[in-house]
Amino acid sequence: MKLKGFFRVAGVCALASAAMLAVAGPAIADPTSPTTTINLDGAGSDTTQDVIDRTAKDAGYSSWNAFQPGSNPPVVHDPIDVKSGATCTDVSRPNGSGEGVTALRRSLSGTSGYPATTAATYAGTKPAPIAGLCFDFARSSSGPGSNASTSGLLQYIPFALDGVSVAVGPDSGANATNIGSGFTLAQLQSMYSAGTNVVGTDGVTYDPNPANGTTGTAIHLLIPQAGSGTRSFFAGVVGINATTPPAWVKDTFIPTGGTVAESVQEHNGSAVTLDHNAIVPFSIAQWISQKNHPAIDRRDEAILQNVGTTSPLDATGTKLNVTFQPQLLRDVFNVIPFAATTDTASALYKVFVSTTDANRLCGRTNRITEYGFATIGARCGQLTSANRAYSTTQW
């Protein structure tokens, strides 16, 4: 078994574990619908689900998990009853940022001020919502991307800062990994975009592309499931197409010694724990959130890595390093209809935009940091034309 190298945050994390356990709480369950205080329902990103689920419960609106709460491996696309009435009963659960935004677009489709959407249904045994306002907002860990439009019908609203590092499997035991640590950003970009061999900090040559004839130690490059905002963000950083990645980049894995491929769910460590040669992008905030709240911990012994010599965690090992690799830091968002941004009386405005309302998300800074994110000051709730998306021709 090869040594890991010296750029591993596990030791720091272990020293901080006692302090983190002090804030441990129960798993965040799906809401009881319909809501009784603020009649809003949202879904989408796995990355931000825990913090938004918690702040939603604090304020009295509904945020639905990206997968069935408590399921590991995650159960996805199971039917949920979003609002009362047959239109929103047995709706397929949106899994990830892309499906959350799709669910919002389909919810708005054909309603007042919105044309019929071209957004396709997503996977599941029950239909995705359409022709009924089942979802009022979406969680997204990435911005508008190629859908940006200054006349867009949706507004992406930032509320916190996250970062993305990579994770590998555990150091020892039956599931010990062969993968070294401390790959530089340039090495990650070279492996993911070109399938190029790189030499790790442990002196081992890692070969990501089976077409090379495995000239070194095989490394399996993973990305999260289709529709994941983290997948889109990380793909942009390493220079691959998120929709059609290179053949050596996979969103499924085969456990070491196994034969059946399994889906990679973002921020779930089972892929790298079960596939001893795998590496996968992992939200730093999710890492901290899961460590802070053992009831939602699905890291499964996976270990968060430095990128080069830069730690994803601060010196205490308990918070996001806001000076982490700049290209790997990102804002995270909630997505609402643009029309709501000009309606100061609307519930969506009061929760996601207002600087004064008692239920505003941006006022819950302790919750934001408890769940691993860093606060962004005045940028929280900020409305910019660059963060509008989906014009009528894109809708």
Residue 3 has pLDDT above 90, yes or no: no
Q: Closest Cα to residue 283, out of 145, 109, 136, 162?
A: 162
Lowest model confidence (mean pLDDT) among 113-127, 141-155, 212-226, 227-241: 113-127
Where on the phi/psi map is residue 7: left (φ > 0), alpha (ψ -120 to 50), or beta? beta
Sorted by where each begins, the domain ranges of the chain are 10-21+163-327, 41-161+333-389
Q: What is the pLDDT of residue 21?
A: 35
DSSP 392: T
Residue 47 burial (10 A CB sphere; 0-12, 13-18, 19+): buried
**What are the tokens at 347?**
């519930």
Residue 244 has pLDDT above 70, yes or no: yes
Residue 249 has pLDDT above 70, yes or no: yes
Question: Which string of DSSP letters, residue by residue, matches 133-175?
Answer: ---SEEEESS--GGGB-TT-SEEEEEEEEEEEEEEE--SSSTT
pLDDT 10s digits, 338-351: 999 999 999 999 99
Residue 360 has pLDDT above 90, yes or no: yes
Question: Which string of DSSP letters, residue by residue, matches 109-141?
Answer: TTSTT-PPP-PPP-SSSSPPP-SS---SEEEES
Query: pLDDT over 90 for what percent of the chain?
Result: 67
Q: How many CB atoms lie within 10 A of CB 76?
A: 23
Residue 5 has pLDDT above 90, yes or no: no
Residue 25 has pLDDT above 90, yes or no: no
Q: Average pLDDT in the 64-74 region? A: 85
**What are the tokens at 374?**
């860093």
Q: What is the mean pLDDT of the chain?
A: 87
Residue 210 has pLDDT above 80, yes or no: yes
What gap in Å lies between CA 37 and CA 50, rounded to an integer? 20
Residue 213 burial (10 A CB sphere; 0-12, 13-18, 19+): exposed
**Do 59 and 38 form a contact (C-beta atoms < 8 A)?**
yes
Q: What is the pLDDT of residue 111?
A: 86
Q: Where are the alpha helices (DSSP H) in the chain?
A: 10-21, 49-59, 97-108, 185-194, 229-238, 270-274, 284-292, 347-352, 365-370
Q: What is the pLDDT of residue 341?
A: 97
pLDDT-based confidence at 131, cuts 50/70/90? Answer: low
Handedness of CA 251, 164, 12, 71 (dihedral sign): negative
Question: Which string of DSSP letters, residue by residue, matches 257-290?
Answer: T--S-EE--TT-THHHHHSTTEEEEEEHHHHHHH
Lowest model confidence (mean pLDDT) among 67-81, 228-242, 268-282: 67-81
pLDDT-based confidence at 303, cuts 50/70/90? Answer: very high
pLDDT 10s digits, 95-110: 999 999 999 999 998 8
Q: What is the pLDDT of residue 273?
A: 94
pTM above the 0.85 mark?
A: yes
What gap in Å lies between CA 77 and CA 193, rounded to an integer? 30
Fold classification of 10-21+163-327 is D-Maltodextrin-Binding Protein; domain 2 (3.40.190)
Q: How many CB atoms lie within 10 A of CB 117?
A: 20
Q: What is the pLDDT of residue 19?
A: 38
Q: Closest Cα to residue 130, out of 113, 117, 114?
A: 117
**What are the tokens at 85?**
């009435």
Q: Closest Cα to residue 281, out of 240, 342, 340?
A: 240
